[in-house]
Amino acid sequence: MELAERLKRLGSENAFTVLGKVMKLREQGKDVISFCIGEPDFNTPENIKNAAIQALNNNMTHYGPSGGLPEFKRVIAEYISKTRNINIDEDNVCVTSGGKPIIYYTIHSIVNPGDEAIYPNPGYPIYESIINFVGGKAIPLPLLESREFSFDVKTLESLINEKTKLIIINTPQNPTGGLLSKEDLQAIADIAIKNDIFVLADEIYSRILYDGEFNSIISIPGMGDRTILLDGFSKTYAMTGWRLGYGIANKDLIKELTNLENNCESCTVTFNQYAGIEALTGPQDAVNEMVKEFKERRDLIVDLLNNIRGFKCLKPKGAFYVFPNVTRACKNLGFKDAEQLQDYLLYKGNVAVLARTSFGNKNTGETEEYLRLSYATSKENIKEGLRRIKQAVENKI
């Protein structure tokens, strides 16, 4: 029996593939330090867990509305209105099981077969995967190290045509840790308004910021009705396993996203939503402490990376990733690309990292090699992991 042709167009996240290799090596007795998964190594704050426990004890275990509990949607609307300086209400909110469904539902709602959608490259691989899955044409927008992993406006303008239906942005960014400036966002907004294009703004790392100022494209006049804002609880509140996220959009589009949620999942876990209410309305001390610790780790890992021969690393402004240029290291070791370096570090150095190609194929004319390391791990692991990398790179094993 043959399966649907569309499955051949569906991609994946290579981070989980590498994690599988890590687990296998550990089962064999190998001591592997992993920098491959983007998950806070902190526990969910106690007040949030207690809110879920209380909801369970109150028997909040039944179906809820597909788009989210009204009281939760109102809390989200108040939070977004305050933090993005806009005026929305609960009818602009769709609650989902994690942030990924908003990517999936948005692309399904906007992109027809043959339509084009622009996505950041390197970027979160699910953008390209779902564009291809629905039969759209995925158009990469190069993020440039020379621009601190922003893009060239003229390049973006050159990619626009009558088939362009969606531009996807992510700030702060995975995998680079880059931050789009207010000027970057204004340029995107001008192009979107001029050409009547929707923008999906992935802002899942908006609270994990160390330098600069976070700006949201939905705050720009004229962008409220054409922006789909994605945010959630996984990164900010260390709630990856809870699967809790949401989208913000104009009310007509939210109805369509909600209907897709209805068809796909029925609704988001009810008691989790009470945990979400507590996360947004309760004390934020744990978030502030986590970001403070991430900043110290960032400074540590950047310094250690820049002390490895052949490595060159910018200091990221947000998220919890570094994206060092390893072109010279690959040449020194006789490797053709960062994928070979990734495998070498895993099997010879007992350190798991991800090659740049885990975040999209190289752009036309791109010649540099990069790795992504997540510093959502302890300082002890960072020191030992970078010691191993330095030894492996400078004294080939």
For residues 134 and 245, give the distance between their C-alpha atoms in angstroms, rounded to a whole number. 22
Residue 182, classed as helix, strand or coil, is: helix
Which residues partner with 327 through β-bridges?
none
Q: Which residue has the tokens 């970027």?
A: 123
pLDDT score recorded for residue 397: 65
- Put simply, whether the predicted model's pTM sits higher than 0.75 gets the answer yes
Q: What is the mean pLDDT of each run of 10 residues along the chain (397 residues)?
A: 89 78 86 90 97 98 97 98 97 97 98 98 96 97 96 96 98 97 97 98 98 96 97 97 98 98 96 98 97 98 98 98 98 96 94 95 95 97 97 86
Kindly report whether the peptide bond that precedes residue 175 is cis, defined as omega within 30 degrees of 0. Answer: yes
pLDDT tens sequence across 88-105: 999 999 999 999 999 999
Listed in sequence order, the residues at least 6 apart from 251 whose beta carbon sits closer than 8 Å to its beta carbon are 91, 92
Which residues partner with 120 through β-bridges?
141
Question: Does the CA dihedral 40-43-46-48 come out positive or negative?
Answer: positive
pLDDT score recorded for residue 37: 83
pLDDT tens sequence across 113-122: 999 999 999 9
pLDDT score recorded for residue 156: 97
